[in-house]
Amino acid sequence: MPTRCGFQTIRLRPPRTPNVIADPGFPLFHHPRSALPVGRIRAAVEEYCRAGTGHRPTCIGWTPGQTSGRRLDSPVAETYITHCEDPWCEIPEPQHPAH
């Protein structure tokens, strides 16, 4: 297993490609099937805080993954930003990874 591994959440049918950023400096994105609705995230955070054990919440599913956002149960997804959507972006166009 890679040295930078962890776990990703599981969602069987994401409604769209959410582009959840894993590393804004590169940029890298979490797999779309790892994105959860806000209500499920809230429930997981509440369970985590209530339990106080430091273990992953059981109210959502988990699969092995990397901190880069890559799931180990899926092929590598080639996702790239084609333009920067940040209205306050100060990085000149040629140097910006999204430009």
Please write the tens of the pLDDT for every residue from 12-60: 776 667 778 888 787 788 888 888 888 999 999 999 999 999 999 999 9
User: Cβ(95)–Cβ(84) under 8 Å?
Assistant: no
Residues with Cβ < 8 Å from 19, sequence gap 6 or more? Answer: 29, 79, 81
pLDDT score of 9: 77
Which residues in 28-58 are b (16+ Cβ under 10 Å) and which e? Answer: ebbbbbbbbeeeeeeebeeebeeeeeeebbe
pLDDT score of 92: 60
Kindly report the CA angle at 9 between 16 and 42, in degrees rounded to 5? 85
Query: For residue 14, which phi and psi values (nearest 5 degrees)?
Result: -70, 145
Mean pLDDT computed over every residue of the chain: 77
Residues with Cβ < 8 Å from 96, sequence gap 6 or more? Answer: 84, 89
75 against 54, higher pLDDT: 54
